[in-house]
Structure 1
Amino acid sequence: MAIYLSFKEIWRNRTKYFLFSLVIALISVLVLFTAGLGEGLATNNKEYLEKLDADLLVFQTNANYSTIESRLDYKKYKRTRRIEGIADAGPIAFSNVKVVVNPSEEPVDVSFIGVEPARPGAPKALLGHDLKSYPSKIALIDQNTADLIDAKVGDKITIKSTQGTEDKLFELTVTGIADGQRYFFRPSIFVSLSTWDKLRPKSDPDNYTTQPVLNIIAVKAEDIVSTSYLENAIPTIIDDVELTDIKTAYESAPGYSEQQGTLNTIKGFTFLIGTLVIGGFFQIQILQKLPQIGMLKAIGAPNRLVSAAVISQIIIVSLIGVIIGTLATFALAVTLPSNVPVYFTASSVTATIITLLLIGPIGGMLSIRMAHKIEPLTALDM
């Protein structure tokens, strides 16, 4: 009966309720885009670290788990590999270079990452071959880089690196293409550690070694028990290092927590605004329907029937609005340029949609309370 009454009224006043559904749709678009933007910015910052085939990361002590500040001697990597309980370990070093696509166009900024081939830290190729130590002038690029510069396996790419006071160009052959591996908002190019040290930007172009200074060491434990053991063992065996898990590492990146906190605050305020808007709309509807509700109560309709009818209306209108808003969001996302970091995951979209559907009934609680207090004779002016 309650659902029948809800549908009947919505259909008779379909223009009014449809317009309000569009208001809910706009709120849904704003919330979903904020969630997508937060996920996109986070992914651009952490994508490479999040996909590491490792359990722990070794940093320099007092580097605040920052890959930029951490500096580790290559000998510490060699010692780390020999510690009992470690299945494998890989050195990782970071810098930035530019890819020259066309002399008449602006070069593309990329993260230039040195790794040990076939060790933790070296991504697997989806196309072509995995990275190898020899020949030296080969590179594995991620899908983002391939899309930006329109590169394929076997193509030659030119990178520009500042060596001393001069910008020098180096040619690399694409041996393979990995999935998305963005690091610090840039697409990534991977080379062997020795090649990285030779080509990376540096003040002294002759400063080159086969055992360069690293930023971090990716450690893969033999099992879960070994992971707990290694967290205490490695800092004891090797001086001036500290360990953390991957999640803590990328959350410690400069600006990450502040960025996500700002976006979550915006999303929270949007939910609050949505709750107030929906609550205000249905409160006005209750005030406009005092005679009808009074008549229902006069003929014996219980409060639970009135409450169920109001809740049904809120759910139906909210559902229509959220569906329209979700479809509009995905349609708009398709039209956005590739450099706009909006990224949707099934978990974040589902959680956002469920929350949007819940704020309707929550906002309508005051309306239900008002409906309960309506006296039939007063509502009918008797």
Structure 2
Amino acid sequence: MFLAWNEIKKNKLRFILIIGVLMLVSYLVFFLSGLATGLKDLNRESVDKWQADGIILTEESDKSLLQSSMNLDQVKEVNADESAVLGQISAIAREGDKKANIALFGIRKNEFLMPNVVEGKAFSKEKEVVASDALKEEGFKLGDTLELSSSEEKLKIVGFTNNARFNAAPVLYANLETFQEIKFGKGQNSNMEEQINAIVVRGNIKNSVSDKDLEVIEIETFIENLPGYTEQNLTLTFMIYFLFIISSVIVAIFLYVLTVQKISMFGLMKAQGISNLYLAKSVIAQTFILAFLGVAVGFILTLLTGQFLPAAVPVSFDIVTMLLYGIVLIVVAILGAVFSVLTIFKIDPLKAIGG
């Protein structure tokens, strides 16, 4: 460690460049991890809000909430500790020159899907909705009357709730009657007006449904089957893992070049009786110091950047994940130093000093 630190102090510029490269790589890794977490939250916020264990959809829906359609009478066949009905449609909501993609949830006010209201009040009659506070970022406010692209009905925002987005769209919560009027039209088809999309359940879900036309799906499985959710996560995760490889290669190249430049010095040290193990420890210690400083600076810069990002940027930093990735970056950097260690082992002292 003494030899490693002294060489860093002696050749500051050279090693600052290595730290700078590692800092940029770690900064990108941390930012991508925050982006991955933020995008995951955009898709699943409202589902996590349910605190449910499973969701019951039709067998032929292919685990898609929108493709599922069942009759309200089928709720009686569900055997679960708690159950709640759910209807869902996607639409574009407009108020004046403001507009936003939304997901409308039709629920019963006395069931557990009813969200906590952080501003305003809960809906108490038809055409009233509790909206995700994400709509505030689009300029919507309490008392706004919304027009939906899929209906002639108008909805009034009477309250706001937090953490309520589904498939990246802010959620509007309304009673079942409002949902059914918007989806099917009032009084046009009494049979269709009894349709919902799903039944959300809590407790033991193994034998919660006996109807062969329905299937119960674990919540995590349901989330993984949301459109684009898995593909998006895999893409960002692949990018992060690829950056680990890049980090290892960069460190390996830099240290190998430095080692080649110091072959005569290493040869002289070996001729003086300094062991290969001592020199190897010195290179590993040097790599650890460089990687630690680069990752630490990247970590701090990432957190500082997060303080200045606009709310529209879907970034959410998970400190535990960031620390884990930081450790991985340091480890792969040390692995990249192995090539330099092997080069040192192969140095012939006599040849290195011109003997």
TM-score, normalised to structure 2, is 0.92
Match of 2:167 in 1: 184
The answer to whether 1:254 aligns with 2:254 is: no
Q: Secondary structure at 2:333's aligned position in 1?
A: helix
What corresponds to 1:90 in structure 2?
84
The answer to whether the 8 A contact 1:162-1:201 is kept is: no
2:99 alignment counterpart? 107
Other-structure match for 1:284: 257
Contact 1:161 1:201 in 2 (8 A): no
- Relative to structure 1, the CA distance from residue 205 to residue 56 in structure 2 (aligned partners, 3 Å threshold; closer, same or farther) is same
- Aligned with residue 170 of structure 1, among 149, 154, 158: 154
Within the candidate set 302, 315, 331, 1:329 is matched to 302
- The CA distance in 1 between the partners of 2:229 and 2:46, in whole Å, is 15
Query: Distance in 1 between the 2:166 and 2:145 partners?
Result: 20
Residue 187 of structure 1 aligns to a residue whose secondary structure is strand
- CA offsets, 1:205-241, max 9 Å, x none? 54476963211111112xxxxx1xx42x234x22301
Aligned partner of 2:143 among 118, 133, 156: 156
Unaligned runs of 5+ in 2: none
CA distance in 2, matches of 1:10, 1:156: 63
Matched, 1:214 2:196: yes
Percent same amino acid at aligned positions?
23
State how far apart, in whole Å, the 1-side matches of 2:145 and 2:91 are.
Answer: 10
**Counterpart secondary structure, 2:314:** coil
1:216 partner letter: A
1:234 aligns with 2:208: yes
Superimposed CA distance per residue, residues 7-47 of structure 1 (whole angstroms, 9 cap, x where no aligned partner): 11001111111111111111112222222222222221122
TM-score (norm 1): 0.86
Query: How many Å separate the matches in 2 of 1:257 and 1:341?
Result: 17
Who is 1:224 aligned against? none
Which of 110, 113, 126 is 1:136 aligned to?
126
Q: How many residues align?
A: 354
Structure 1 distance, partners of 2:39, 2:31, is 12
Residue 125 of structure 1 pairs with residue 108 of structure 2? no
CA positional deviation for 1:265:
1.8
**Displacement, 1:124?**
2.2
Cα distance between partner residues in 2 of 1:120 and 1:57 = 13
Q: Give the distance between the partners of 2:183 and 2:178, measured in 1 at CA.
A: 12
The structure 1 residue matched to 2:244, chosen from 271, 287, 290, is 271
Deviations 1:96-125 (A, max 9, x none): 233434x2x241222111112232322223
Contact kept in structure 1, 2:4 and 2:282, CA below 8 Å: yes
SS of residue paired to 2:180:
helix
Give the conservation status (yes or no) of the 8 Å contact 1:141–1:190.
yes
Q: For residue 127 of structure 1, report the CA deviation from its aligned partner.
A: 4.2
Is the deviation greater in 39-48 or in 210-219?
210-219
| DSSP 3-state at the match of 1:54 | coil
